[in-house]
Amino acid sequence: MSTADAQAHAARTLWNLLHAWWQMMPKGKRTLADADAAIRQARKDLDFLAVLPAQAAQAVLKTYFQAWKNCWDGRADAPNFKGRFRSVMAVDIPQGRDLNVKRVHRRWGMVNLPKIGRVRFRWTKDLPVGKHAGTVNRITGARLVKDALGWHIAFRVTTLESRPEPHQGPAVGIDVGVIVPLALSDGTIFEHGEWLTEKDKTKLLRLEQRAARQRKHRKAGERTSRRLHRTYDQTAQLRAKAKRRAANWQHETTTGIARTYGTVVVEALTITNMVKSARGTVDEPGKHVAQKTGLNRSIAAEAWGRTVTMLTYKTARFGGTLVKVPAPGTSQRCSACSSTTAGSRESQAVFVCRNPDCGWSGNADHNAARNILHLYRIGLVAIPAAGRAVARRARRVKPPTAR
């Protein structure tokens, strides 16, 4: 196990110890000072926690308390234990003064990591180092994160940016889908191909078959063999490669949209309800379970929520705005006459209005995008569900300071 892996496991263990301490202590003793004293005592009693730098341990403490504040404000669920195989391995470096970041090559840089040493990393974005660093533009910390492809470092940078001028671009409605990922109200379509090449898909199928054979020979209660772990790691690497390519396409696409349009209008979708299983119960089994399972996988693969998140901060960066409108009826309503007639949605790609006085026909995705834009123009804007939840919770519970 590398030093970075040991630090990540120590940080996860420290989080779990903090959570156990929180559950055992009475409400009056759940203070930051008492938790800090408990952490210091745990680092003395447990030798393997000493591999984690003291600043990183303090970062775990602050993150845990912030998680409870987010829960009390209605922005997140209550923090829980972090499992060994279900949680992301990460180490926070809250102080940037000792990182000593230097660029040694056009593609590579060097950084000092506490209790790890000098490490080389891939230089992908400009950082305020050397003559570009100052009191305003400077690196304030970093975070190490591990995925199936290895360790990555993300730097926290403070900089002074001017407020962007209001975007003078037009407004556009966006309809998200499975067949057509993004369809705009002006007729533009953004599509993508397969995230894995044919060679990668063949390798992935071979690895899945190998894992099935290796699991067949494992007895009940027996530990997973190293060969099976190796097969799992290779499968995870291919899936991580596909996920990285998908995120790259989303970044490029959303950046182009934010640069072009001043107002971006999307549907207020509840994705968690859309991907619920159709399996049903023993007494009332579901119908078309296999088809619904495939649809759920396709929706999850498109990552609509991540696309909206990217558009939210990118439109603000370029001086634009993102608006959400109610989702019901946008795909069944005719964008020409605003009527909803049964049978108008002939297929996934074609919309033909069955209203005798209209008869408009066109692409179904463009029709939905035009309806989305129309809802914004008439002032029908969705109220964020998180805002309503916070308002209800504020009337029920005491403020966080009372805890």
Domain identity same for 139 and 175: no
- Band (pLDDT 50/70/90 cuts) for residue 278 is confident
**Is 60 exceeded by the pLDDT of residue 392?**
no
Three-class SS state of 36? helix
CA distance 107 to 356: 63
Average pLDDT of the residues in 288-303: 81
Which burial class, exposed, middle or buried, applies to 309 when counting CB atoms under 10 A from its CB (0-12, 13-18, 19+)? middle
Residue 382 one-letter amino acid: A
Phi-psi bin for 135: left (phi > 0), alpha (psi -120 to 50), beta?
alpha
Domain identity same for 156 and 167: no
Give me the CATH number covering residue 358: 3.30.420
Domain identity same for 156 and 168: no
Question: What is the span of the domain harbouring residue 105?
Answer: 1-160
Q: Is 242 among the domain residues? A: no
What is the percentage of the chain residues whose pLDDT exceeds 70? 91
| pTM exceeds 0.75, yes or no | yes
User: What would the pLDDT profile of 91-143 be if each residue is shown by its tens digit?
Assistant: 999 888 889 999 888 899 999 999 999 999 999 888 888 766 777 788 999 99
Q: Which helix (H) or strand (E) holds 158?
A: strand 150-158
C-alpha pair distances (Å), 395 with each of 14, 202, 387, 391? 34, 56, 13, 7
Q: Is 207 among the domain residues? A: no
CA distance 262 to 175: 17
Q: Is 309 among the domain residues? A: yes
**Is 70 exceeded by the pLDDT of residue 400?**
no
Neighbours of 35 (CB within 10 A): 19
Q: Is 234 among the domain residues? A: no
Which burial class, exposed, middle or buried, applies to 363 when counting CB atoms under 10 A from its CB (0-12, 13-18, 19+)? middle
**Is 60 exceeded by the pLDDT of residue 396?**
no
Which burial class, exposed, middle or buried, applies to 368 when counting CB atoms under 10 A from its CB (0-12, 13-18, 19+)? buried
User: What would the pLDDT profile of 313-336 be if each residue is shown by its tens digit?
Assistant: 999 999 999 999 888 878 888 877
CA distance 76 to 386: 10
Average pLDDT of the residues in 222-229: 88
